[in-house]
Chain A
């Protein structure tokens, strides 16, 4: 396992409220790490700071040995796939197919390859019957699967999943479990979750945040 993300002396505040205090950690590739903690402990903010969505007050974050201050959002997006807490916030195309093929289309990928790769994701996430359906008419679980599928099509080296089990029934949660198990040999995963059973089942390491500070960092 190689170091993929390194965080040093990270402080971050939102609307003049200190949300993260002196965070130091490393996250390795092909490692499944979970971040747990009560509401307002800074879990989501930490995920957003790592992906450059929110700027930190001080401290450094390195992705693949590059300081994120020197990387643009698209450059970070090519390395890290970020699943928003609310999938509505990241689904922007009108149909399921359009949403999945979006990034490939703008990267000038050939139609044949787009068809093939989108088809694979539709199969994996059981979205085939919804291929041409409007994204606005999907259920919460379908939106969640679509959002993860769209991220995976970007071939990220690392995944940050913010509450991916929200809105999933036990069957879908099991399927997400299987998918994450199959992915861990290829990418590193940072799971932000309240779902204790899900966290315990998958994690190599569990990090606990409390009031913006790192409380615990232990192997599972």
Chain B
């Protein structure tokens, strides 16, 4: 199923659910979009657990942001009161959850895109008239990401193997260490980009205005059905949000 669906259809899924996630403000509607996104990601066999594992550190930040959103909104009925000071209001709680839903919808969108074969996705972007240079840069960026992550890990390991326990350093020293971790990766990425650009130009990249491709994407009847259903569902959700809730 994952392989069968055209990457442009997956892009349409993502554009629809992420746009609705950003446009809707009512909690019930956001919850509906979230469940629809979850259903799509399940059908496409998106690896949500792997995604959550990768962004584990950022999850704490999301939780903190949800709490901050909840606490700093003063309107609505008081729900938690400490010594006469309102800590949490109904509106604050609702906005906090709405924020959480939006983050989850964006994460699901990322997981759906991750199910695409990158070569097919780039071909899809080209057939959508995106300039080849941009599509090529995107594909290279995606391919280099794991390599950069590995380099970051190696630099961190090298620092620790010098006997430096980062956890035991003072805050100022820890901030200094961050520059030691990121500088070589940044410089290395620039150097790789330079070598790569030279290499692709030596192989005739952009030698002609138009490129042909052995891979051409064609919508199947199933893709047309998925596109139609996506439009119908999106319109239904917009109408429901506008007139019924």
Give A residues with C-beta under 8 Å from B: 51, 53, 72-78, 80-82, 84, 88-94, 102-103, 106-107, 136, 150-151, 154
Cβ of B91: which chain A residues have Cβ within 8 Å of it?
Answer: none
- Is there contact, CB below 8 Å, between A74 and B163? yes
Cβ of B162: which chain A residues have Cβ within 8 Å of it?
Answer: 74, 77, 102-103, 106, 150-151, 154
CB of B173, distance to nearest CB on chain A (Å):
7
* Residue count of chain B within 8 Å CB distance of chain A: 21
Bound CA–CA A75/B167 (angstroms)? 13
Task: Indicate whether A53 sits within 8 Å of B164 (C-beta atoms), given known contacts A93-B180, A106-B173.
Answer: no
- Is there contact, CB below 8 Å, between B184 and A74? no
CB of B194, distance to nearest CB on chain A (Å):
12
Q: Is B201 an interface residue (CB 8 A)?
A: no
Number of A-B contacts (CB under 8 A): 67
Bound CA–CA A162/B154 (angstroms)? 15
CB contact between A74 and one of B151, B154, B165 (< 8 Å): that residue = B165
Q: Is B161 an interface residue (CB 8 A)?
A: yes
| B157 closest partner in A (C-beta) | A53
In the assembled complex, 29 residue pairs joining A and B whose CB atoms fall closer than 8 Å, in A order, are: A53-B157, A53-B161, A72-B160, A73-B157, A73-B160, A73-B161, A74-B162, A74-B163, A74-B165, A78-B163, A80-B161, A84-B154, A88-B188, A90-B154, A91-B158, A91-B184, A92-B158, A92-B180, A92-B181, A92-B183, A92-B184, A102-B162, A103-B163, A106-B173, A107-B164, A136-B187, A150-B162, A151-B162, A154-B162
Bound CA–CA A83/B161 (angstroms)? 10
Q: A74-B163, A92-B184 are in contact. List 13 more A-B contacts (CB 8 A).
A: A53-B157, A72-B160, A76-B161, A77-B163, A81-B161, A84-B154, A84-B158, A88-B188, A92-B155, A92-B181, A102-B159, A102-B164, A106-B169
Q: Is B191 an interface residue (CB 8 A)?
A: yes
- Is there contact, CB below 8 Å, between A74 and B158? no
Give B residues with C-beta under 8 Å from A: 151, 154-155, 157-165, 169, 173, 180-181, 183-184, 187-188, 191
Nearest first, the 8 closest Cβ-Cβ pairs linking A and B are A77-B161, A73-B160, A90-B158, A103-B162, A78-B163, A74-B165, A89-B154, A77-B163
- Is there contact, CB below 8 Å, between B181 and A51? no
Cβ of A53: which chain B residues have Cβ within 8 Å of it?
Answer: 157, 161
Bound CA–CA A89/B158 (angstroms)? 8
Cβ of B164: which chain A residues have Cβ within 8 Å of it?
Answer: 74, 77, 102-103, 106-107
| B176 closest partner in A (C-beta) | A106
Bound CA–CA A91/B184 (angstroms)? 8
Task: Indicate whether A154 sits within 8 Å of B163 (C-beta atoms), given known contacts A53-B157, A92-B158.
Answer: yes
Cβ of B154: which chain A residues have Cβ within 8 Å of it?
Answer: 84, 89-90
Cβ of B160: which chain A residues have Cβ within 8 Å of it?
Answer: 72-74, 77
CB of A3, distance to nearest CB on chain B (Å):
22
Cβ of A81: which chain B residues have Cβ within 8 Å of it?
Answer: 161
